[in-house]
């Protein structure tokens, strides 16, 4: 019976800065609606493991994982996207994911269902990637640290 399920989701964060100010009055004088920072989540697939051979039995797959159709906002803040804000948000989300308990679902006349949540931070842009890898230049490789000057020297790249 399929009563032990896994929901795989992707999550990420992004900011939007420099937009037009609107005539919204804020109580805190340093806040404005020109800077937004959002954390969101998209479910990708729901599966169960076969009791016979341990293979995945897919019950549902997101038909358009890059679409905004299933994208859900986890948090929306009026704050400027900075490297520090990105690192703090990642740390908060990782803490919450560690504390996340499986969801228990009760459906009349059916066995008890448990859904385990597997979340992967894959929805990131270049600014987020650079902030999380402490890469201070957009021209520097955030995996190996090579600069454009190093790219033609494989020995130099392999040292890093």
Are 104 and 119 in the same domain?
yes
Are 69 and 91 in the same domain?
yes
Q: What share of the chain is helix, strand, coil (3-state, %, to 5)?
A: 20, 35, 50
Q: Report pLDDT for 152.
A: 81
pLDDT digits (tens, 9 = 90+) for 93-108: 999 999 999 999 988 8
User: How much of the chain exceeds pLDDT 70, in percent?
Assistant: 89
Q: Report pLDDT for 22.
A: 62
Least confident of 1-5, 75-79, 125-129: 1-5
Q: Are 45 and 58 within 8 A, CB to CB?
A: yes
Higher confidence at residue 30 or residue 99?
Answer: 99
* Closest C-alpha to 96, from 113, 115, 77, 121: 121
Are 112 and 64 in the same domain?
yes
Higher confidence at residue 151 or residue 67?
Answer: 67
Are 71 and 146 in the same domain?
no
> What DSSP line would sit under 2-58, residue for residue?
--EEEEEEEEEEEEE-SPPP-S---SSTT--TT-EEEEEEEEEEEEEE-TTT--EEE
Q: Report pLDDT for 72.
A: 96
Q: How far apart are CA 77 and CA 100, in angstroms?
A: 22
Are 111 and 140 in the same domain?
no
Structural domain total, the chain: 2
Are 137 and 101 in the same domain?
no
Are 99 and 114 in the same domain?
yes
Are 35 and 56 in the same domain?
yes
Higher confidence at residue 18 or residue 152?
Answer: 152
Are 133 and 106 in the same domain?
no
Q: Hey, what are 44's tokens? A: 């990708």
Q: Hey, what are 40's tokens? A: 């969101």
Q: Report pLDDT for 64.
A: 95
Q: How far apart are CA 27 and CA 29, in angstroms?
A: 6
- Give the domain extent around 136: 125-159
pLDDT at 41 > cutoff 90: yes
Instruction: Tell me if residue 18 falls in helix, strand or coil.
Output: coil
Q: What would the mean pLDDT of 39-57 be, rounded to a whole number? A: 93
Are 28 and 95 in the same domain?
yes
User: How much of the chain exceeds pLDDT 90, in percent?
Assistant: 57
Q: Hey, what are 55's tokens? A: 């293979």
Are 24 and 103 in the same domain?
yes
Q: How far apart are CA 2 and CA 60, in angstroms?
A: 13
Q: Report pLDDT for 155.
A: 78
């Amino acid at each position: 019976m399929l009563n032990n399920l896994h929901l795989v989701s992707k999550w990420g964060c992004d900011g939007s800065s420099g937009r037009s100010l609107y005539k919204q009055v804020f109580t805190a004088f340093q806040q404005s609606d020109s800077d937004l920072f959002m954390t969101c989540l998209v479910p990708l697939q729901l599966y169960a493991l076969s009791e016979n051979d341990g293979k995945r039995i897919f019950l549902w797959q997101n038909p358009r994982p890059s679409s905004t159709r299933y994208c859900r906002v986890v948090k929306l803040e009026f704050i400027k996207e900075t490297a520090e804000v990105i690192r703090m948000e990642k740390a908060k989300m990782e803490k919450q994911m560690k504390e996340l308990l499986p969801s228990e679902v009760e459906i009349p006349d059916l066995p008890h269902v448990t859904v385990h949540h597997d979340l992967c931070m894959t929805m990131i842009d270049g600014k987020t990637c650079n902030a999380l890898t402490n890469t201070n230049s957009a021209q520097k490789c955030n995996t190996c640290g090579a600069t454009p000057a190093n790219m033609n020297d494989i020995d130099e790249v392999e040292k890093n």
